[in-house]
Structure 1
Amino acid sequence: MEEVWTRALRRRSEERGTSSGSASEGGWGFGAVSGGTAPARGGGAECAGRGSSAAGRGCSRSRQPQACGGRWARDPTVVVMEAGDFLDSLIYGACVIFTLGMFSAGLSDLRHMRMTRSVDNVQFLPFLTTEVNNLGWLSYGALKGDGILIVVNTVGAALQTLYILAYLHYCPRKRVVLLQTATLLGVLLLGYGYFWLLVPNPEVRLQQLGLFCSVFTISMYLSPLADLAKVIQTKSTQCLSYPLTIATLLTSASWCLYGFRLRDPYIMVSNFPGIVTSFIRFWLFWKYPQEQDRNYWLLQT
């Protein structure tokens, strides 16, 4: 009799061990659902969906926010990365849109040359210097593998080439214009020969090319300082363009942010003078408003 009783107890304990092992082998626990008993995965996917309590073995209180929280339990690192990607997309889009907007400003000069069949009140040197600047940054972007720089400066170089050809077509003094163009193109070819033939190290070449582009861009931003001095002398902002000032500020600020995000000092530092000169122009527009300009020119006449 004792032997039968011992066998029964042993069989019952084995059954309990088997059931508990099969329940915990795949991470299964027991959760109360609608007053009954139902299996629930250890990750707790059924906990929040069916309104079960946190008493299930697979969904402990310490892991409940991650396993059963749903949307509100997202990883903060993922959220920060997504916000950073969205900010980068905004900066990239701003660089492309604002820069192409500035380059397309020459379309009004092109339309003026076609309608009047002359180059009156159209300056040639900005087209040429912008062409050299675009080709320099295009080379820098190609060497660095920067798609934004490549796209923007390719379009800019194409537009400046169109403006230069139109100016050459309608200009009566073609010899002077051709001499200026040949001089700058010669300097550009010498620069390409130096960077690509005499500087074999790609890293050193990238640094020197970035330094050249930065210095050239800074000189372009600082070149209108003579016009600003003329505004102060004449107390008139008639020679300044308010829309162009806004476009310069937006373009310079977007490229500064772009360089900051990439940790590229050549892009960031070279566009900072554009922000400074834009604020100086805004101050001149505020100090010498249009009404004061009109009164000044009436007195002069």
Structure 2
Amino acid sequence: MTDWYKIVTLYVCPSIGIVISTALYSAPAKSLAKALKRKSLGDLNPKPWAIMTGNCFGWLAYAYYTKNPFVLASNIPGLLVSFWLNAVQSSSLLDEESSQSITINVFTSQDILLLEVLSLWMIILVGVGWLGICNGKEKEVVGLLVNINLLFFYAAPLQTMSTVVKKKGSNSIHTLTMILNCLNAGFWGIYGLAINDIVIYGPNSIGLLLGIIQAILCCIYPKTSTNQIVSSTTGADNRPLLDNVYDDDQETEVEEEVELEVQEPESQVI
């Protein structure tokens, strides 16, 4: 019984967590592809992707200091995906910002945010690893800082829950993503408890709690039958960090219908 318990908690749970976390990191790719097809980001909020890069970068450093292969394996795909998301989005944003400005910008706002996040982590790692200012507490310091970075990730679901309460509808919550987030946090939380690492089970416990609260809000405020289309000029993104792929499909279909209705009178004139 003890052997099975160790196998499940020490190997099975983190292995499943690697698969789920990779799927979650890759979730925004479809929404970005649609935004590129429309040649406009619309209400797609790319800023969390720069935070994602810093988050994965920090966890890789923590995996190095703790010699944890599961943490390492779960964040390598996330780091690669985040670089791709930021690179593709920056290329699109450069075209948008250049068209709205007379001068040509070398860096987009997304590039600047990404460089700031990476520079911060470079300074941290040089100070911790090379200068040795932590006196043997490298693991604890990196673990604390990566969890501070993670707090910015939690801003997205908190904003989403606030939107649900204000609008009395849970349309902004992507059900599948919410379930995957809960499962991911649960598996990693179990693994963190098994190895007695608060840096792992601490933030995942918070993530699981936020997921449960979102599930309760979905029950209290069911999704409405019609989804409101957010104008492309809207600056705030009230959706989850990992974009609602299902809602994006519906939004694209409605936009196409609106375009057809607008173009129909012209065809009659011709």
Gaps of 5+ in 1: 1-78
1:130-168: per-residue Cα shift (whole Å, max 9, x none)?
110000000110121111111111111000000001101
Provide the C-alpha distance between the structure 1 equivalents of 2:29 and 2:11, rounded to a whole number of angstroms. 28
Alignment of 1:131 with 2:57, yes or no, is no
Q: Could you say if the C-alpha distance between residues 235 and 135 of structure 1 is closer, same or farther in structure 2, counting changes exceeding 3 Å?
A: same
Secondary structure, aligned partner of 2:7: helix
The residue correspondences of 1:264-283 to structure 2 (distance < 5 A) are 264-283=197-216
Provide the C-alpha distance between the structure 1 equivalents of 2:200 and 2:157, rounded to a whole number of angstroms. 20
1:250-274: per-residue Cα shift (whole Å, max 9, x none)?
1111111111111111111011111
Which residue pairs with 1:26 in the alignment?
none
Letter in 1 for 2:114: T
Which residue pairs with 1:99 in the alignment?
21
Q: Could you say if the C-alpha distance between residues 296 and 204 of structure 1 is closer, same or farther in structure 2, counting changes exceeding 3 Å?
A: closer
Q: Which has the higher contact order (CA 8 A, sep 6+)?
A: 2
Secondary structure, aligned partner of 1:238: coil
Secondary structure, aligned partner of 1:224: helix
How far residue 223 of structure 1 moved from its aligned partner, in angstroms, is: 4.2
Letter in 1 for 2:214: R
How far residue 111 of structure 1 moved from its aligned partner, in angstroms, is: 2.3
Contact 1:214 1:267 in 2 (8 A): no
**TM-score, normalization by structure 1:** 0.66
The residue correspondences of 1:56-71 to structure 2 (distance < 5 A) are none
Among the aligned pairs, what percent are the same residue?
16
Secondary structure, aligned partner of 1:240: coil
Contact 2:21 2:74 in 1 (8 A): yes
Q: Could you say if the C-alpha distance between residues 87 and 268 of structure 1 is closer, same or farther in structure 2, counting changes exceeding 3 Å?
A: closer
How many pairs are equivalent? 217
Contact 1:134 1:156 in 2 (8 A): yes
Contact 2:22 2:74 in 1 (8 A): yes
Letter in 2 for 1:148: F
> Which of the pair has more CA radius of gyration?
1
Alignment of 1:205 with 2:127, yes or no, is no
1:3-52: per-residue Cα shift (whole Å, max 9, x none)?
xxxxxxxxxxxxxxxxxxxxxxxxxxxxxxxxxxxxxxxxxxxxxxxxxx
**TM-score, normalization by structure 2:** 0.73
Stretch of structure 1 that moved more, 208-217 or 134-143: 208-217
Q: For 2:79, which of 121, 145, 157 is the aligned residue?
A: 157
How far residue 117 of structure 1 moved from its aligned partner, in angstroms, is: 3.4
Which residue pairs with 2:3 in the alignment?
81
Provide the C-alpha distance between the structure 1 equivalents of 2:129 and 2:174, rounded to a whole number of angstroms. 39
Letter in 1 for 2:46: F
Contact 1:252 1:275 in 2 (8 A): yes
Provide the C-alpha distance between the structure 2 equivalents of 1:119 and 1:257, rounded to a whole number of angstroms. 38
Q: CA RMSD in A?
A: 2.1
Q: Could you say if the C-alpha distance between residues 83 and 245 of structure 1 is closer, same or farther in structure 2, counting changes exceeding 3 Å?
A: closer
Which residue pairs with 2:233 in the alignment?
none
Stretch of structure 1 that moved more, 173-182 or 97-106: 173-182
Stretch of structure 1 that moved more, 143-152 or 183-192: 183-192
Provide the C-alpha distance between the structure 1 equivalents of 2:188 and 2:68, rounded to a whole number of angstroms. 13
How far residue 123 of structure 1 moved from its aligned partner, in angstroms, is: 1.2
Contact 2:51 2:114 in 1 (8 A): no
Gaps of 5+ in 2: 98-106, 229-270
Contact 2:51 2:152 in 1 (8 A): no
Which residue pairs with 2:181 in the alignment?
248
